[in-house]
Amino acid sequence: MSARVREFFRRWIIQAVSDQFYSFGTAISWSALSSIGNSRIARLTIIMPFVGYLIVFNSTLSDYFSTILPADLAHESGDLWTFLYSRNLYFLYFGLLLFGGGVALFNVVAPSQIRRFPAAESYIAAMDTIRTPNLVIGSFENTIGMYFASLHGEERSSMFVARRIGFPSDVSGDLHRFVERLFLATEFSDEDFEPAEDRLGSRFWTGSGYLMTDEVLDVAYSGRRADRILHVALLDEAVAHPTDVFYLEHRALEYHRSAARIIVFLFYAMGSALLVFPSILTSILILKFW
């Protein structure tokens, strides 16, 4: 019975929550958040808390901007509605504080490439105008660095669906397909990297004929001098495909720093909720006492 309960709990609760969190984490990419963070109007909210501070703690201005219910509505609505309505200025202040904090945080922690070019097409076009072999190699190495930092163990395998919001499965799949193209273009064989007497079958290929691109990357970036030939060969092939390299880098950067993305979103969400609360409260009162 306990095994069934654990299985039910794992399948219908833990797995369901995990799936929802993964969907949520991949939906709020830096590109999605940039629609607010890059807005000039939204950037003005960064200074609004300071202006709000002067208003809230200045008795003259606070009285001028304060809101109170008309006497007849205040009598009918009760103390709670009167209290909430009289605090509209505070809701606006804290809403702007949180929203402005989210905008400021976005402009600090979001990758500069995404802030300047939220769309992959714009980023590729901009990078293509200044493209050099070193620039392409740098972008490729940046993507590989995010791959190694975000995925661990079997998560790096092309046959494993990595549900990491910092490096989602679709980005991982694109990278594995690209690495496979690069490796096949190098025309290397297992003999170049492993002595025949130590080889039990194939190092880079599965028994069913699939290339283990995670093993290719592990060898290429092992740091061993003997494996550096593969590393250099992959970079040489990557230089010949700059569009793919820039696209992969942009895609990976969209989900980089996942914790910061969630924090920025929460700041936006809480700030927006506080900002619209006075309007919702006023609408409720109008409808209630129509």
Residue 288 lies in a domain: no
Q: Residue 191: which domain range?
A: 141-253
The confidence band for 127, taking pLDDT boundaries of 50, 70 and 90, is very high
Residue 127 lies in a domain: no
The confidence band for 110, taking pLDDT boundaries of 50, 70 and 90, is very high
Span 117-138, average pLDDT: 96
The predicted structure's pLDDT at residue 288: 65
The predicted structure's pLDDT at residue 29: 95
Average pLDDT along the chain: 82
Q: Which one has a higher pLDDT value, 38 or 197?
A: 38
Chain segment 146-201, per-residue pLDDT in tens = 999 999 988 898 888 778 899 999 999 999 999 999 998 986 655 555 544 434 34
Q: Which one has a higher pLDDT value, 115 or 16?
A: 115
The predicted structure's pLDDT at residue 97: 86
The predicted structure's pLDDT at residue 66: 53
CB count, 10 Å around CB of 203?
A: 17
In one letter, which amino acid is 8? Answer: F
Euclidean distance between CA atoms 241 and 79, whole angstroms: 68
The predicted structure's pLDDT at residue 56: 56
In percent, the amount of the chain with pLDDT more than 90 equals 45
Task: Give φ, ψ of 205 to 5 degrees.
Answer: -120, 145
The predicted structure's pLDDT at residue 199: 40
The predicted structure's pLDDT at residue 205: 85
Residue 37 lies in a domain: no
Chain segment 237-271, per-residue pLDDT in tens = 999 999 999 999 999 999 999 999 999 999 999 99
The whole-model pTM stands at 0.80
Q: Is the pLDDT of residue 71 over 80?
A: no
**Buried b / exposed e along 105-143 (16+ C-beta atoms within 10 A):** bbbeebbebbbebbebeebbeebeeebeeebbbebbbbb
The predicted structure's pLDDT at residue 198: 39
The predicted structure's pLDDT at residue 257: 93
Q: Is the pLDDT of residue 285 over 70?
A: no
> Which residues touch 219 (CB under 8 Å, ≥6 apart)?
193, 203, 204, 227, 230
Residue 167 lies in a domain: yes
Residue 221 lies in a domain: yes
Work out how many domains the chain is built from and give that number: 1
Residue 106 lies in a domain: no
Closest CA to 147 of 234, 31, 256: 256
The predicted structure's pLDDT at residue 245: 97
Residue 214 lies in a domain: yes
Residue 51 lies in a domain: no
